[in-house]
Amino acid sequence: MTNNQPMTVLQFIKHYLQFSIAAVTLVIVIILQLTPLAVAGLYAMDAISLILSLPLIYRMWNDLRSGKYGIDILAATAIISAALLNQPWAAIIVVIMLSGGEALEDYAGRRAQSELRALMDRAPIMARLVKHNKVVEVKIEDIKIGDIIEVRPGDTVPVDGKIIEGSTTVDESSLTGESLPQLKKIDNSILSGSIVIDGLIRISAIHTGEDSQYQQIIKLVKQAAQTPSPFVRMADRYSIPFTIVAYFIAISVWIISGDPIRFLEVIVVATPCPLILAAPIAIISGMSRASRYGIIIKTGAALEKLATIQTIAFDKTGTLTHGTPIVDEVIVIGDHDETEILLHAASLEQVSNHILADAITKEAANRKIELIGVKDVKEQAGSGISASVNDLMVLVGHYNFMESNNIVIPKSFDQATISQTATYVAIDNNLAGVISFKDELRAESQATLNAIRKLGIRHILMLSGDNEAAAAAIAGQLGIKEYQSHLLPEDKLRIVRGITNQPVAFVGDGVNDAPVLTAATVGIALGAKGSTAASESADLVIMNDDLSYVAKAINIAKETLLVARQSIFIGIALSVGLMLIFATGKFSPVAGALIQEVVDVIVIFNALRAHTDKKFII
């Protein structure tokens, strides 16, 4: 059974065995009351209540040994006391409510999924090994350092290597966070997991498959998963004072009256079912409310943690930005103008499927530039394209493409001043212009950060694999004072783990974010656009490709936690009041157990308010 499939009746019984046995036992004993086996049924119910309390007693014992004092102590005391004092109805009701609360709590956690499945599915399995001038497919684990590997357009690079033949443009966004395609030529290193966009290359392996970048990411996810952030069940935070009050009242009336039933009468109404039920029901309601907006919160623990975060860190590419290049600037060289440069460049690029070609043609369309036909098109994979436009030879491509075609470059032009990803345009054998690109900021990014600050989160930082110039530009536009660039997955992991202002949430997408999404107190993935690996590793997945839903998720979490706490305090107040009333000895333990059900209903209805939508403007 997968997490997306509903449980069958048999699966429900198997998974929630304690609750199922208690409920079936109660129904059977009620039926037996109409037969001569009524007394035997009561004894059987008593015995079953004691048996069902054994896991609770074991857990209580372990808590005591480790110095923890949870609400299980009161529940175990109530069940055992009721069974020993021949109050089977009270015992079974307490068991049902207790196990029912735990079942609800468990249900909230069953939506979690495996973090590694998507990573393993995408990991390269085979590679093209060049051996004796022949290309043969081999398993990744068979590759040795120094082996020659052929990588074709569309392939995922199988191992880390150095290019020894050919040039190409690669997509490294899923590994480094670098949003724009990167030119790779001879002697350049290339990471496993990169996707070759164009151009056939041959690389010399510098790492084995096991030690290459992609497998290192998988290892980081595994390590992070083994050291999850600590989490304390909400009800346990209030358990010690509540338990002390309950035992004080119960023991006091027993000593004064000399009747152990009086002890049971108090303990039954002190049974912390409201404490157990309030938080899970409120949290499930909050999770359901979030799901209406396409916000998938995998566990109740994740929602609780999200409500308390003090720091939020954002990946840049594909999170604060769209992750796709757009034209930033057209730099004119010589006696040309921007329209002329875009006209010639876009006319060539309209026949190319390169990601930067798409950005150029879109910019020309936005400026309403009508493209013209081209002749004698020649494309050099990974470098550039040339063609005849109105009888003029036009070249569009990388800087080295210009040099290799002996394009005249003015002495006044300084290549070092071009810090962004760029395409060079030559007309009639002379460098005519440079088209630079940037990663476009999401329209909702600024409003989202403002909303997050209003929710009380002051520590905001940005972590990026992009270059310093690109990261600084985005951070400046958004007013983010703390940012870091040139980061690999292990760098992001180290930074997030080193943040002192905990708990911390991390928002990202892409395979490169998977380890840090797992390691953060709360990992949030933009799942509509991000990789499956990121979605699997995260605690929350935003299905809509809209960053503002991060602020909405935090708001829902805070409101849900507020309702849960209110419900717990209402339950505590009502239980303490009932303890004082039942201390008079005027009501039976069974009456106490039934009245406690009324308290449970009140708490449940209050907790369900977490499902109610409230206006939240971003």
What pLDDT, on a 0 to 100 scale, did the predictor assign at position 115? 41
In a domain, residue 256? The reply is no
Shortest CA distance to 266 belongs to which of 600, 597, 585? 585
% helix, strand, coil for the chain, step of 5 = 50, 20, 30
What pLDDT, on a 0 to 100 scale, did the predictor assign at position 478? 93
Do 347 and 436 lie in one domain? The reply is yes
Q: What phi, psi does 332 have (nearest 5°)?
A: -95, 135
What pLDDT, on a 0 to 100 scale, did the predictor assign at position 533? 56
Q: Calculate Rg over the CA atoms of the chain.
A: 32
What amino acid occupies position 306? Answer: L
Across 268-286, b (16+ Cβ under 10 Å) vs e yields: bbbbbbbbbbbbbbbbbbb
Do 416 and 498 lie in one domain? The reply is no
* Domain end point (choices 555, 570, 601): 555
Shortest CA distance to 431 belongs to which of 333, 507, 315? 333
In a domain, residue 459? The reply is yes
Arithmetic mean of pLDDT, 7-25: 78
Q: What phi, psi does 223 have (nearest 5°)?
A: -65, -40
Asked if 548 and 531 count as a contact pair (C-beta separation under 8 A), the reply is no
Check pLDDT > 60 for residue 108. no
Q: What phi, psi does 407 have (nearest 5°)?
A: -70, 135
Beta bridge partners of 161: 190, 205
What confidence category does residue 119 fall into, taking pLDDT thresholds of 50, 70 and 90? Answer: low
What confidence category does residue 275 fall into, taking pLDDT thresholds of 50, 70 and 90? Answer: low
| Helix (H) or strand (E) run with residue 489 in it | helix 489-498
What pLDDT, on a 0 to 100 scale, did the predictor assign at position 109? 46
What pLDDT, on a 0 to 100 scale, did the predictor assign at position 406? 92
In a domain, residue 23? The reply is no
Do 310 and 353 lie in one domain? The reply is no
Q: Which domain CATH number covers 207?
A: 2.70.150.10
Do 350 and 314 lie in one domain? The reply is no
The region of weakest confidence among 217-221, 276-280, 311-315 is: 217-221
Do 368 and 347 lie in one domain? The reply is yes
Its pTM stands at 0.64
Query: How much of the chain exceeds pLDDT 90, in percent?
Result: 28
Strands 392-397 and 422-427: antiparallel
Check pLDDT > 70 for residue 527. no
Q: Which residues contact 144 (CB under 8 A, 6 or more apart)?
A: 205, 208
Do 430 and 487 lie in one domain? The reply is no
Residue 430 in 3-state DSSP? strand
Burial of 380 (0-12, 13-18, 19+ CB in 10 A): middle
Residue 394 in 3-state DSSP? strand
Burial of 232 (0-12, 13-18, 19+ CB in 10 A): exposed
* Domain end point (choices 177, 211, 245): 211
d(CA 562, CA 541): 22
Arithmetic mean of pLDDT, 188-206: 89
Asked if 514 and 119 count as a contact pair (C-beta separation under 8 A), the reply is yes
What confidence category does residue 114 fall into, taking pLDDT thresholds of 50, 70 and 90? Answer: very low
In a domain, residue 168? The reply is yes
Question: Considering the chain, what is the average pLDDT of its residues?
Answer: 82
What pLDDT, on a 0 to 100 scale, did the predictor assign at position 541? 81
The predicted-structure confidence for 417-439, as pLDDT tens digits, reads as follows: 887 778 999 999 999 999 998 88
Across 41-60, b (16+ Cβ under 10 Å) vs e yields: bbebbbebbbebbeebbeeb
What amino acid occupies position 592? Answer: G
What pLDDT, on a 0 to 100 scale, did the predictor assign at position 1? 47
What is the separation of C-alpha 127 from the centre of its chain, rounded to a whole number of angstroms?
31
Q: 163: domain range? A: 123-211
Do 435 and 446 lie in one domain? The reply is no
Check pLDDT > 90 for residue 128. yes
d(CA 489, CA 510): 11
In a domain, residue 250? The reply is no
How distant, in Å, are the alpha carbons of 196, 346, 351, 366 from that of 385?
18, 11, 10, 22
* Domain end point (choices 555, 579, 611): 555
Asked if 331 and 432 count as a contact pair (C-beta separation under 8 A), the reply is no
Q: Sign of dihedral through CA atoms 84, 89, 90, 91?
A: positive
What pLDDT, on a 0 to 100 scale, did the predictor assign at position 2? 46
The predicted-structure confidence for 337-385, as pLDDT tens digits, reads as follows: 999 999 999 999 888 877 788 899 999 999 999 998 888 888 887 788 9
Q: Which domain CATH number covers 503?
A: 3.40.50.1000
What is the separation of C-alpha 168 from the centre of its chain, rounded to a whole number of angstroms?
33
Do 430 and 302 lie in one domain? The reply is no
d(CA 276, CA 72): 10
What confidence category does residue 116 fall into, taking pLDDT thresholds of 50, 70 and 90? Answer: very low
Asked if 507 and 526 count as a contact pair (C-beta separation under 8 A), the reply is yes
In a domain, residue 161? The reply is yes
Do 343 and 361 lie in one domain? The reply is yes
What pLDDT, on a 0 to 100 scale, did the predictor assign at position 176? 59
Higher pLDDT, 506 or 241: 506
In a domain, residue 77? The reply is no
What amino acid occupies position 125? Answer: I
Q: Which domain CATH number covers 429?
A: 3.40.1110.10
Check pLDDT > 60 for residue 530. no
Do 531 and 465 lie in one domain? The reply is yes
In a domain, residue 222? The reply is no
Burial of 244 (0-12, 13-18, 19+ CB in 10 A): exposed
d(CA 317, CA 486): 12
Beta bridge partners of 204: 148, 162
| Helix (H) or strand (E) run with residue 88 in it | helix 88-109
The region of weakest confidence among 199-203, 309-313, 450-454, 465-469 is: 465-469
* Helical residues (DSSP H) of 324-444, grouped into ranges: 338-349, 355-366, 399-404
Sheet containing 195-198: give its strands across: 182-184, 168-171, 195-198
Higher pLDDT, 420 or 389: 389
Strands 189-190 and 182-184: unpaired
Asked if 193 and 218 count as a contact pair (C-beta separation under 8 A), the reply is no
Q: How far apart are the first and last CA of the chain?
A: 39
Asked if 508 and 540 count as a contact pair (C-beta separation under 8 A), the reply is no
Beta bridge partners of 329: 436
What pLDDT, on a 0 to 100 scale, did the predictor assign at position 3? 46
Q: Looking at the 3D structure of the chain, how many domains does it have?
A: 3
The predicted-structure confidence for 592-604, as pLDDT tens digits, reads as follows: 777 776 777 777 7
What confidence category does residue 232 fall into, taking pLDDT thresholds of 50, 70 and 90? Answer: very low
Phi-psi region of 294 (alpha: psi -120 to 50; beta: other; left: phi over 0): left
Do 317 and 447 lie in one domain? The reply is yes
Residue 526 in 3-state DSSP? strand
Query: How much of the chain exceeds pLDDT 70, in percent?
Result: 84
Do 179 and 189 lie in one domain? The reply is yes
Residue 525 in 3-state DSSP? strand
